[in-house]
Structure 1
Amino acid sequence: MGSTVTSTGPAKKTTASARPGYGQLLRTRGAWTFLLPGFAARQPFAMLTLSIVLLVQHTTGSYGAAGATAAVTGISMALFAPFGGRLADRYGQRAVLLPGVLVHALAASGLTALALAHAPLWALFVAAVPTGASVPQIGPMVRARWGVVLNDSPLMATAAAFESVTDELTFVLGPLLATALCTSVAPAAGLVTEAALTLLGGLLFAAQKRTQPPVTASHGPARAAHGSALRVPGVRVLVVGFLGIGSVFGGMQVSLSAFTESIGRPGLNGALYGTFAAGNMLSGLVCGAIAWKVAPQRRLLVGYTALAVAASSLWTAHTVPLLAALGLLLGMCIAPALVTGYTLVERLVPAEARTEAFTWMTGAVAFGQAAAVTVAGQLEDRLGDGSGFYVPMAGTVLALITLLAQRSRLVPPPSGRTVARGVGHRSSVAVD
């Protein structure tokens, strides 16, 4: 993709043109050692919510109960993810991953057994808490490893786009796999496969010690030099934006499932959601290939406006072709917001709190998804007729209003300035 990048060690001497590309990024020394196991380990993340929805809906006959169970899982993940990210910064990714994937496999297996035994809803909720709390945050960990091997080179923006594309590739494959397993093999097959892939992929990823970010001091002045990433004002604003993105994912999962069920073609659910995710993936590829001249905070506002407009059109779709077209358009609007949001995180937060900051973003998406799954499930149960599609519209519009009102907090401070009490800022980098 154009220019040549040479690197000595972990990208400490990097030469790139104004348009660093994916070819240069993937030739970074050590990248493939964590990319391949990381892809395997993050695949189950895209299967979890939909697998729970399909299993619990099958055993209870209620989208409301299915959505609520999935929501408990998502909320637990959102609450525990930043804590896990901070532990990873403090003690190392391996120390967090090894026990985490074991707990998740056991908890997901327990949730599956309870659902098949037609246990009461409260029991499903109890099992859903550790299932969500133990979800390994592979995406944030991979992003933190890019920071290690690239060492703040111009390729960091390309890495952010590449990670968004990778995330969306999992959201293309994950729903398709979950739907195929749950509808063609057995209702529990999706969740069982998710647990197995999490365990295997997580262990393989944890074994890659060389690219693991350095562990920050657990006490003393080095630890006191920075606090929680959430104390950075811009991070809090981005959390709201990512909550809105989560509402799109959650609302689409339940609403598409209800729509395909209502027309007697449940097998189309994975294909429709895959079309939505494919739009996200394709636009993410484009985002990473463009040498942007506009500041990222401005790109975020423009991209998020387009996202809110696209999400507001979903309720008008009453046919499969129209819903597929609108889903593709909506997906194409998500990647620019995600990529730019992660780029801003890189510039607002010091390296010492980077994994935690990324998990706040991932947790916000999960929390927004959980809330959307719950509300959309209730709407579909009570009103039907695609009423769940109002959830992505409401979530993105409210988030856009917040981003516009707090846009000044998204501007990275000058080099050397403290961004929040107890949180320093690293040296400035060139705007992509």
Structure 2
Amino acid sequence: MASAVKDSRTGYGPLLRTPGAWTFLLPGFLARQPFAMLTIGIVLLVQSTTGSYGTAGAVSATTGVAMALFAPQSGKLADRFGQRAVLLPGVLVHVAGVAALITLALTHAPLWALIAVAVPTGASTPQVGPMVRARWAARLGGSPLMPTAAAFESVTDEFTFVVGPVLATALCTGLHPAAGLVAEAALTLTGGLLFAAQRRSQPTVHRTQAGGRPRVSALSVPGVRVLIVAFLGIGSVFGGMQVSLTAFTEHIGQPGINGVLYGIFAGGNMLAGIACGAIAWKVGPRRRLLVAYGLLALATTPLWLVTAVPLLGAAGLLVGLCIAPALITGYTLVESLVPAAARTEAFTWLTGAVALGQAAASTSSGQLADRFGPSAGFLVPLAGTALALTVLLALRAHLLPRSSSVTVGGPAHGADAPVATDSDDRERELARA
């Protein structure tokens, strides 16, 4: 699909006036709401029926791992056959998986049975966020509005992490332990079908790359592999915060404020995302990512030392403020590193990396909380971001688009070519110096 926007302006106003944008934004917003409800809903339900945060974290982690492993395949299929062809069966399988998981948990099925059902439940989770980002990339091409679109999507994602955990927690604690997952399945079915119906705005199907070359995975782009590590670290923050906040609020006898504390954390992320999208950046995205990630690793340091609810809320807000710039810049880099024929797959690799990091952090934080107390789980976000920052600094050269516009599987040309900006060129010159 050719770029529909050639406007040199930035900001949310020009972005939201993009022709056809609202046809996929509204159903996409509804369809992604369940994403933030799934893992917390599993943790609350399984912990309620088993009494173990470790068990709850293991089942939640299995769902996240399955999501992470299958999401890139979903993205690759969407690039090749179209988003609708992937969404429709995925939504139906996911709803069936959630229903089976609820039934098994309430009947006190053994852990192996819960894990067995968690695999297809996570694997079939609709990847609506990456699909919306791919639609923006198809509409905007190399427009200066792409960073704004990435920020807008981050804000939308984080709004779901404000609403989702609060809603799931309120339903699970106020109505029934399974109510959060019931709502998740209902929203997945409704939103997923509505989004799949928007066929005109979906990106052009790419069965081959430009010039008739066979398609190759986005994973062959070195920069994508570096971003995957970064997003694994970000996922460790989400997973570690979810489980650790749940354990902490349960430990102090106030489980109802779990969703509020997580909402404050996600709200900080959302506010930072809004600010990022409104700024006309003069610093290149690679440098922005490195600075933002360093601040994120630093912000996670005091979490495990805090024991008062107000201070923990403030610390969580600070962590949230640092996540959005890293996420937004990572997604922005995809448009300049990856050709159009593999962008949905690239976005799903990053989303899957967040899910995988979240899964690993959930089970690790759960084990630490069970053995050493609720505050010990907060060490996981610190370790995850510190390790990822080390990799980012060591391999930062891979995050610069090459002057020759190398694409997946061969030289780029035409609409598939990654776009290098002036700030990219400045960063490249500094890297050579």
Q: Give the TM interval when normalised to the shorter protein.
A: over 0.9
Q: How far 1:217 sits from its partner (Å)?
A: 1.8
Residue in structure 2 matched with residue 344 of structure 1 by the alignment: 333
Residue in structure 1 matched with residue 46 of structure 2 by the alignment: 56
Q: How far 1:422 sits from its partner (Å)?
A: 4.3
Q: 2: CA distance between counterparts of 1:147 and 1:427?
A: 11
Q: 1: CA distance between counterparts of 2:198 and 2:4?
A: 20
- Give, as a single letter, the amino acid of the residue that structure 2 aligns with 1:91: F
Residue in structure 1 matched with residue 235 of structure 2 by the alignment: 246
Q: 1: CA distance between counterparts of 2:139 and 2:2?
A: 4
For 1:56-103, what per-residue CA distance to the aligned partner results, in whole angstroms no more than 9, with x for missing partners?
000000000000000000000000000000000000000000000000
Contact 2:101 2:118 (C-alpha < 8 Å) held by counterparts = yes
Range 312-321 or range 96-105, more displaced: 312-321
Q: How far 1:148 sits from its partner (Å)?
A: 2.1
Q: How far 1:29 sits from its partner (Å)?
A: 1.1
Residue in structure 2 matched with residue 199 of structure 1 by the alignment: 189
- Give, as a single letter, the amino acid of the residue that structure 1 aligns with 2:421: A
Residue in structure 1 matched with residue 378 of structure 2 by the alignment: 389
Residue in structure 2 matched with residue 12 of structure 1 by the alignment: 4
Q: Percent identity?
A: 67
Residue in structure 1 matched with residue 204 of structure 2 by the alignment: 214
Contact 1:310 1:330 (C-alpha < 8 Å) held by counterparts = yes
- Give, as a single letter, the amino acid of the residue that structure 1 aligns with 2:8: A
Q: How far 1:379 sits from its partner (Å)?
A: 0.5
- Give, as a single letter, the amino acid of the residue that structure 1 aligns with 2:21: A
Q: 1: CA distance between counterparts of 2:191 and 2:172?
A: 21
Residue in structure 1 matched with residue 406 of structure 2 by the alignment: 418
- Give, as a single letter, the amino acid of the residue that structure 2 aligns with 1:166: T
- Give, as a single letter, the amino acid of the residue that structure 2 aligns with 1:63: Y
Matches within 5 A, 1:13-412: 14-17=6-9, 20-217=10-207, 222=212, 224=214, 226-412=215-401
- Give, as a single letter, the amino acid of the residue that structure 1 aligns with 2:297: A
Q: 2: CA distance between counterparts of 1:385 and 1:49?
A: 18
Structure 2 residues without counterparts, runs of 5 or longer: 424-433
Residues 13 and 145 of structure 1: CA distance in aligned 2, closer, same or farther (over 3 Å): closer
Task: State the secondary structure of the residue aligned to 2:406.
Answer: coil
Q: How far 1:346 sits from its partner (Å)?
A: 1.0
TM-score (norm. length: structure 2): 0.94
Contact 2:104 2:114 (C-alpha < 8 Å) held by counterparts = yes
Q: How far 1:154 sits from its partner (Å)?
A: 1.4
Q: How far 1:429 sits from its partner (Å)?
A: 4.2
For 1:340-382, what per-residue CA distance to the aligned partner results, in whole angstroms no more than 9, with x for missing partners?
0011111100011000000000000000000000000000011
Q: How far 1:12 sits from its partner (Å)?
A: 3.4
Residues 110 and 331 of structure 1: CA distance in aligned 2, closer, same or farther (over 3 Å): same
Q: How far 1:385 sits from its partner (Å)?
A: 4.1
Q: 2: CA distance between counterparts of 1:10 and 1:209?
A: 16
Contact 1:227 1:423 (C-alpha < 8 Å) held by counterparts = no
Q: 2: CA distance between counterparts of 1:85 and 1:423?
A: 22
TM-score (norm. length: structure 1): 0.95
Contact 2:36 2:165 (C-alpha < 8 Å) held by counterparts = yes
- Give, as a single letter, the amino acid of the residue that structure 2 aligns with 1:396: T
Q: 2: CA distance between counterparts of 1:42 and 1:421?
A: 32
Q: How far 1:157 sits from its partner (Å)?
A: 1.1
